[in-house]
Amino acid sequence: MCCEIRKIRSLNRFKNILENSTMTPNQILSRFANLRLLTKMLVINLIVILPLLIASLFAYSSYSASIKKSVGKYQGDVVRELTTNLDTYMNELNLLTMMPYQSPEIMRFLAASRSEGAPLTLEENTTIGSFVNHVLVNGRVNVTSLYLYGTKGSSYVLLPESIATTSRKLEKEPWFERISASSNNLNYLGPHEVNSSNGVKSRVMTVTRKIKSIQTGKQVGYFVIDVPVSAIENRSNHLATSNFGNIAIVDDEGRLVYKDSSLDVTDTLIRNYQGTGSLVVHSKGKEELLTYNTSSLTGWTTIGIVPMSLLLQDTANVRNNIIFIGIGCLFLAVLISIWLSLLITRPISQLGNLMRRVENGDLAVAVPVRNKDEVGQLSHTFNVMVSRLSDLGYKLYETEIREKNSQLAALQNQINPHFLYNTLGSISMYAEIQGNREVVEMTNNLSHLLRYSINSDQSEVPLQQELGHVEGYMAIQLIRFENKLHYEIEIDQWLLSSHVIRLSLQPIVENCIIHGFGRARGRGRIRIIGTKEGNSMLIAIEDNGKGMNAAELQTLRNRLQYASLPEGAAGGHGIVNVHRRIVLRYGSAFGLFITSEPMQGTKVIIKFPYTDSGKISSEEDN
């Protein structure tokens, strides 16, 4: 009895678990509605895209692989057929180069010792002429030119559209070094140009054979024939039809022998293959099937290239299947997107309506928060924002009152500078009447300096304008120091339009005069040099004053790095102030860099970002 009760309790517990784990459709939709917006979009995209992607990839990959396999096999057959055709032609050339062994007279001619340019005897001329005619009218190969060279000076050369000559030297032939260094008796040379005696150029390929004595086995000379390159091109064009692919031929040293004019690949791509095989390569953003086969006779490699787009042009059935599946998935995506759009846009539209009411001044609004997704969080944030707007309104009103008071104070502060300008103008006029030009010049320069320092509302000015301010200041100092001070400015004209922070150079120059010279005797010199380095402009200000020792220099550098900017818009313009303003404006990569030696002077380098006037004007407009 107890066992039966235990079984019943276990069954009831399992039933409760199943009931709790089962969710109704409404519960599922409610949980989905509470998900993050990003999660919702990912789920929908997976539902729509995954089936389409799987079906498309499977159908396309299967058909594409079948096409690649069948066309790749056919391409290999084409390449092998062309290689065999070329080998047959090359074998004909090989047989022609064996003809000297059939003529004892030619063998004796090659083995004989002859002086340079020695004419042929009548018998030799008849024998060689008969041999040459026999080679030229062989009936199988069109020979362009012919060379007979003996190792002991014999020479007979017949070039295109030229008279035979015996004065050419073997060592001066362009192919001699390559052939003599080769261990092969027979060598094939790729396309090159041959010049006839009347200047006509012929594009040929060359076959060379080392001729050896039948009795001793020692080399007695060379037999070389040239054939037109068109013989290779005709055979290649015959097989490399334009509706299938393109053909290229490379010799055993990687030099290009032939390439279809329509073959749009780099020469480097087709120079590194030996043996037999095929692979897919990428050239200029295109996939292409490359098949290659190397001739055992010549060592030349024949390469066939077919664009993959051409291989897959007959995939109409696959395309139709993909379109059919895509339309179905698209229809499903539209339905789901409509439902998702309504789910998202309804609360957003409600939120927009309430925002317009707030814009009209109604702050007694609140958005009902139903979900916990991004829209729900946005609605909650909107409610918090509206509840705080009333508090911010009073603070804004108080801020506007304070701003108006500040503007009134600023207008009052402008009275003193105007009084000072008028006073300086009066002094200048009085000095002009008295004929004191130095006082006139000093008061005018001082007036300009004050206007530049006080009235300008620009934080950045062209370098040329800042240098004008420095020159005005130095004009006053030159009168003050008479002939004890000299300054130089060496800056390229194209740097003058680059912008710098206003009042950044004159404080450094003033620092040179006050701390560099002071009461020192002798002639003081200040140089201002401007250069461009990368995207930066460097302004170097150096003097020949008393300089600083290592401790003083380190103290100044520490002040530059750690001192704070003086308070107030018109605070001090000392060296620390200039450095901190540049750093705050452009970043820590810019500013002042100081070097100094006792009794040698001090050099201050000011680093600004280089900008042209057009760029600054655009930024100011923005």
Does position 186 have pLDDT exceeding 70, yes or no? yes
Q: How far apart are CA 201 and CA 147, in angstroms?
A: 17
Question: How high is the mean pLDDT of the chain?
Answer: 76
As given in the structure block, the two tokens for residue 306 are 């077919």
The alpha-carbon radius of gyration of the chain (Å, integer) is 47
User: Which of 49-58, 260-269, 519-528, 585-594 comes out lowest in average pLDDT?
Assistant: 260-269
Query: In CATH, which superfamily holds the domain spanning 486-621?
Result: Histidine kinase-like ATPase, C-terminal domain (3.30.565.10)
CATH class in words for 98-232? alpha beta
Residue pair 466/453 in contact (Cβ under 8 Å)? The answer is no
The confidence score (pLDDT) of residue 55 equals 72
Q: How far apart are CA 130 and CA 358, in angstroms?
A: 112
What percent of the chain has pLDDT above 70?
Answer: 74
The confidence score (pLDDT) of residue 604 equals 94
Of these ranges, 154-163, 264-273, 348-357, 451-460, the one predicted with the greatest mean pLDDT is 154-163
User: Which of 100-114, 169-183, 530-544 comes out lowest in average pLDDT?
Assistant: 169-183
- Our CA angle for 554, 558, 564, nearest 5°, is 155
The confidence score (pLDDT) of residue 490 equals 92
With 0-12 CB in 10 A as exposed, 13-18 as middle and 19+ as buried, what is 486?
A: middle
Q: Which residue has the higher pLDDT, 104 or 33?
A: 104
The confidence score (pLDDT) of residue 593 equals 93
Could you state, in order of their start, the residue ranges of all structural domains in the chain? 98-232, 318-410, 486-621
The confidence score (pLDDT) of residue 424 equals 64
Does position 267 have pLDDT exceeding 70, yes or no? no
As a whole number, mean pLDDT of residues 483-488 equals 83
The confidence score (pLDDT) of residue 38 equals 54
The confidence score (pLDDT) of residue 419 equals 56
Does position 282 have pLDDT exceeding 90, yes or no? no
Per-residue confidence band for 620, with pLDDT thresholds at 50, 70 and 90:
very low
Residues pairing with 108 in the sheet? none
The confidence score (pLDDT) of residue 566 equals 46
User: Which of 280-294, 419-433, 473-487 comes out lowest in average pLDDT?
Assistant: 419-433
As a whole number, mean pLDDT of residues 528-547 equals 91
Per-residue confidence band for 540, with pLDDT thresholds at 50, 70 and 90:
very high
Per-residue confidence band for 231, with pLDDT thresholds at 50, 70 and 90:
confident
The confidence score (pLDDT) of residue 590 equals 92
The confidence score (pLDDT) of residue 536 equals 92
Provide the b/e sequence for 132-160 (b: ≥16 CB within 10 Å).
Answer: beebeeeeebebbbbbbbbbebbbbbbbb
Closest to 162 measured CA to CA, from 126, 206, 196, 116:
196
The confidence score (pLDDT) of residue 616 equals 42
Does position 488 have pLDDT exceeding 50, yes or no? yes
Amino acid, res. 427: I
Does position 243 have pLDDT exceeding 80, yes or no? no
Q: How far apart are CA 149 and CA 328, in angstroms?
A: 79
User: Which of 43-52, 420-429, 572-581 comes out lowest in average pLDDT?
Assistant: 420-429
Does position 420 have pLDDT exceeding 70, yes or no? no
Per-residue confidence band for 618, with pLDDT thresholds at 50, 70 and 90:
very low
pLDDT in tens, 455-476: 656 778 899 988 988 888 888 8
pLDDT in tens, 74-83: 777 888 888 8
The confidence score (pLDDT) of residue 622 equals 38
As a whole number, mean pLDDT of residues 332-343 equals 70
Does position 63 have pLDDT exceeding 80, yes or no? no
Does position 619 have pLDDT exceeding 60, yes or no? no
Residue pair 504/466 in contact (Cβ under 8 Å)? The answer is yes
User: Which of 34-38, 465-469, 479-483, 577-581 comes out lowest in average pLDDT?
Assistant: 34-38
User: Which of 125-134, 185-194, 261-270, 485-494 comes out lowest in average pLDDT?
Assistant: 261-270
